[in-house]
Structure 1
């Protein structure tokens, strides 16, 4: 399904807004450094400092000239292995320019955030012809979160406040590898899913799949599992709904993705079972999913708006609609699969919810309001939703942001 591409002016605005969002995520860190009390040292980490310090320790391996990872927080680090290349490379970069590791960490975080936001803009544009609708979807995904802030006074601490990989804004705030992994995930979907690209695969697309799949499998192996599952379900649903024969092009795309991903996934699993130190570390690395009610609060109003959006997508059933529903359903199942690292599979889950939420607004709520515009209250709301795109976006974003 072809959609009009954003204009050059839209792209420049997206670049400016993306830079502003990334700058916004940096303000708390700048405040931390500026308000550091005498005799104390601000580490430059605000969310999940335990993991954050492990990233800096990996960078230290590179700063000291190493390229192989070993566990730094143990008396027996074991033999080095080719893992965590991103942070080891950043450590080398810090040594090359003579900068503090934390500065390079945040520069990489900002750059990865820009890459994610612009990739997200390209991704969202595939779903909406109206500029106002795609801007609303993009801003809600980029800035939105859930109702967790309302639960804090009652002792609640839901996932939208700390599970950074699930929420786009929080992932940009946390580290470089979450936003980069989400950007790679979106790029792979644009290359793999019917309706996003040319009907026949060419060598450039195949090369793009190989590079993105290899990088994803190394950077965030769990994302490869989700991408493979969502793509397979999308293909199966496409064939079932269209009563179509299996297309060689789809098989070719999936095979290229699998051949690029599986070697790294198998190698990672083999290391976790055979490397003495990594085996012990893997045994204690448990990240189960929170209960389902936690996710309902985590995704908040966008999830509620996604209900009419999902119904519209189910009735319309275009290739991209089928993909969105497949992503949401497959990911929801994977979050509770019998697997010790369930929560890691929530990477980027706010994205399909945000797109469906925007569809719910554009194709569900606005037509419903227009059909009931007789009363003065409905007339007032109708004037808002018929207002210029900027005002409409502002209303939608204000509704969805915490």
Structure 2
């Protein structure tokens, strides 16, 4: 252990770590501005829900899991579906955060945000240590840290294109948006602003690759490699797929170039293979033995944007990284060549025929950022071709100005655009007085085992805001989501077949109806005219009904001649 720590200390000085820490504090505080602003403008008439633009649907799930852990759970249930099921899902991060919140009497959103800050700082420190493996020059390491942490594409310059998409493409808009606007996994700054899950996953990826590449052998090196891989496999197994593919390709590359296998790489690769096989087997068994988890796995489709918006999203990073890879290959810099073996397979995996393809972009900003830094330094040093100092200075100034605009403008825009969005105090991010009142009623009166059928939008918020179960509320989490949405539409709108409506409530295990009065498209049926529900709450915006029936089991059929929805 002593030798392992000594080798680590030799690679990075204390002053460098202090710089990385201070840099991390500044960046994390900047990324927290929208959260602080939302909290600051929150009021009794517009209560901030502590959601962010990054991925509000994800936050609702995370808050719910933390709350379950706070309430004593060790294995998690799905609050977004009505099928009866036991808690079988194990998530070490949310379990730990929930227990910490329980001991310290913290709100779920508070411990979530604190964890995001701490994990973000750890991620930046590990990123600097990883960068140090590729650059001996300390100034170059610091430049690489800035570029890798803050760079993105040129979406800011594509705003007219984005506006056109929002106005003219009615379906699957997300596939047309530049990825630096919609895919948090692809860029370090969006990973840091998203959640502790993403930050810690990237930290573990960097740790695994750093331990895989290092020259010295030790028991503790293998121990930390295996432990990091196992933790990552339980937290975010998608990243372990990337690591396994990249490490395999790099071992094959070194074998082809050097005509022999290097034992240290082979042993480490075998350890990664073993951990991946164990984790993959664990999830395979879970998905095939638990219908709810299996249903979630089948519906968990997150697709990468089309190629053109993907290229816009990466912007200058791709040509710079290609130039950096070319120079690395030309000089036989095998350390930097490894980064090409990370970036290229990662890009290909993100377009592979896998339902979770977009998640495989996680961490690609690291090799792209480091290779781009190598290219930027080389381009900057080309100022030596100018005989006049003035010409060299102008060249350097123009180069740095253009690259700064191309790499760093979009992250700034995204952060301040979120603040602009918050200033409108719109639904989901803020709740008005009527919404607060109806949520308070449901929180106090709905039992933990009961399910709510809610108007669109509110069905998504309930599990993460008041931590109650819903019949349907998330296109990934709700089992048989598409079928249920058809049935829900039929339930709200179908004027006849009253017996079917009653049976729908019984079979769907639905105890409460939350109806928004303004949602005329859905709520065309007069529930006051039937005897199997009772009005228990009403204000200017909502009506809540309590069912007078005893739910039994999940239902399976639509009523005859019911309307279909796409």
Q: How far did residue 400 of structure 1 move?
A: 2.2
Q: Which has the higher helix share?
A: 1
Cα shift at 1:375: 6.2
Residues 167-224 of structure 1 show CA distances to partners (whole Å, capped at 9, x for unaligned) of 111111111100100010000001112xx331xx321011011110001101110000
Cα drift, residue 39 of structure 1: 2.4
| Residue of structure 1 in register with 2:344 after alignment | 329
The secondary structure found in structure 2 opposite 1:287 is: coil
- Given that 1:143 and 1:401 are in contact with CA atoms closer than 8 Å, whether structure 2 keeps it comes out as yes
Partner of 1:129: 136
The range that moved more, 159-168 or 81-90, is: 81-90
Does 1:250 pair with 2:268?
no
Aligned match for 1:63, one of 70, 74, 77? 70
Contact 1:132 1:393 in 2 (8 A): no
Per-residue deviation, 1:38 = 2.7
Aligned residues: 388
1:197 paired to 2:215: yes
Q: What is the CA distance between 1:377 and its match in structure 2? A: 6.4
Contact 1:224 1:261 in 2 (8 A): yes
Measured in 1, the distance between the counterparts of 2:33 and 2:42 equals 14
Instruction: Map Cα deviations across residues 106-148 of structure 1 (whole Å, 9 max, x no partner).
Output: 0000011001000000111111122222111110111111112
Q: Contact 1:313–1:325 at 8 Å: present in 2 too?
A: no
Which structure features the higher share of strand residues?
2
Conservation of the 8 A alpha-carbon contact between 2:77 and 2:89: no
User: What is the CA RMSD across the aligned residues, in angstroms?
Assistant: 2.2
TM-score (normalizing by structure 2) = 0.65
Can you list the C-alpha shifts for 1:326-368, whole angstroms capped at 9, x where unaligned? 11121122112221110010001111000110111123x1243
Larger Rg: 2
2:186 aligned partner: 166
Q: CA offsets per residue over residues 240-268 of structure 1, 9 Å max, x none?
A: 1122x223322211112222232112211
Query: Matches of residues 225-374 of structure 1 in structure 2 within 5 Å?
Result: 225-243=241-259, 245-363=260-378, 365-371=379-385, 373-374=386-387
Q: Tell me how far 1:93 sits from its aligned partner.
A: 1.4
Partner of 1:78: 85
Q: Secondary structure of 2:370's partner?
A: helix
How far apart, in 2, do the equivalents of 1:398 and 1:136 lie?
16
Q: TM-score, normalised by structure 1?
A: 0.91
1:26 aligned partner: 32
Contact 2:24–2:124 (CA under 8 A) maintained in structure 1:
yes
Asked if 2 retains the 8 angstrom alpha-carbon contact of 1:4 and 1:129, the reply is no
Does 2:386 correspond to 1:379? no
Task: Tell me the secondary structure at the aligned position of residue 70 of structure 1.
Answer: coil
1:186 aligns to what? 206
Cα distance in 2 between the residues matched to 1:3 and 1:284:
46
**Alpha-carbon distance in 2 for matches of 1:126, 1:110:** 25
Distance 1:383 1:394, change over 3 A: closer
Structure 2 gaps, min length 5: 1-7, 166-176, 410-566
Whether 2:222 is the aligned partner of 1:206: answer yes
